[in-house]
Amino acid sequence: MRKPSMLVLAALLAVSGGVAAAEDKAAHPHWSYQGHGGPEHWSELDQANTACSISKEQSPINIDEKQVKKAPLAKLDFQYAAGTAEVINNGHTVQVNLPANSSFTAGGSVANLLQFHFHTPSEEKINGVSYPMVAHFVHKTAEGKLSVVAVLFKQGKPNQALASVFKGLPAEGKTVKLDSFDPAAVLPSERAYFKFMGSLTTPPCSDGVQWQVLKQPVEVSAGQLAAFRKLYKMNARPVQPLNGRTVELSE
């Protein structure tokens, strides 16, 4: 019996490699917002995601204003600077990466702004109701702790601060570079906020994240919403049990 040629061996290896890759993909399905990779299955997809099901301080949450505790919380001091930016479609959302020259301070704790990204509808609910969209501004302290500021969006006038972002939303896996972008312009004028401890809202759902949800929403147009929803019709994790956590509102 003749030995298989090198070309045949290469073909067999390619096929077996393809099967192995397919099996590995089946064994470790990619997380998503619906179906087998949806939020109810995140903890099953990877051992690193166990917090998604066992943690008692998961995000997002429903903020019931009747149960909120008013408190003398520290004012949020945003030190955001304009500069270049990269708009990336990472397969789960559109994310705006920013240079390391912006930060915010709350009660003496300084956290550097890394990026912000969008969810539709808003992951956070206020009195059981979602907003059309939310932006999560993700910060990290020098100690490595994460702090997220959520900006809620209601439908209305076009958002001029985000015009350059929504004008050229990239396809999945693509990046658009902006020569100048001012993250401070996205923030509402009033800075009252809800504060609570929570987690990442995507796998691995790590907890220990400080959350600040700004109470005043900003506007975004129907056209801007439609542009985002062409890419992501829905990319919001359902609200999670409060499990006795206290939600505070700045006075």
CATH number where 126 lies = 3.10.200.10
* C-beta of residue 63 within 8 angstroms of C-beta of residue 206: no
Alpha carbons within 13 A on the beta-carbon side of 245: 26
Q: What is the DSSP letter of 90?
A: -
> Hey, which residues are catalytic here?
92
Q: Which amino acid is at 60?
A: P
Q: Could you give the CA distance from residue 222 to residue 90 in angstroms, rounded to a whole number?
A: 23
pLDDT digits (tens, 9 = 90+) for 136-146: 999 999 999 99
Count structural domains, the chain: 1
Q: State the pLDDT at residue 149.
A: 98
pTM, to two decimals: 0.88
Residue 215: pLDDT band with limits 50, 70, 90 = very high
Task: Measure the CA–CA gap between 214 and 49, rounded to whole angstroms.
Answer: 28
User: How far is it, in rounded angstroms, from Cα 236 to Cα 151?
Assistant: 15
pLDDT tens digits along 199-210: 999 999 999 999
182 close to 161: Cβ distance less than 8 angstroms? yes
φ, ψ (nearest 5 deg) of residue 58: -85, 155
Contacts of 129 (CB under 8 A, 6+ apart): none
Residue 5 domain-assigned (yes or no): no
Residue 24 lies in a domain: no
Q: What is the mean pLDDT of residues 164-193?
A: 97
115/98 Cα distance (integer angstroms):
6
- 241 located within any domain: yes
In a domain, 216, yes or no: yes
H-helix or E-strand spanning residue 165: helix 163-167
> Counting every residue, how long is the chain?
251
CA 235 from chain centre, in angstroms, equals 9
Question: How many angstroms separate the CA atoms of 102 and 87, rounded?
Answer: 17
pLDDT value, residue 107: 85
In a domain, 199, yes or no: yes
Residue 23 lies in a domain: no
Task: Find how far residue 243's CA is from the centre of its chain.
Answer: 22
Beta bridge partners of 129: 126
| Mean pLDDT across 83-111 | 95
Whether residue 4 lies inside any domain: the answer is no
What residues make up the domain containing 62? 39-250
Phi/psi of residue 164, each to 5°? Answer: -70, -30
Q: What is the pLDDT of residues 9-59, one digit of tens each?
A: 444 334 334 433 333 344 445 899 999 999 999 999 999 999 999 999 999
Q: Is 20 inside a domain boundary?
A: no
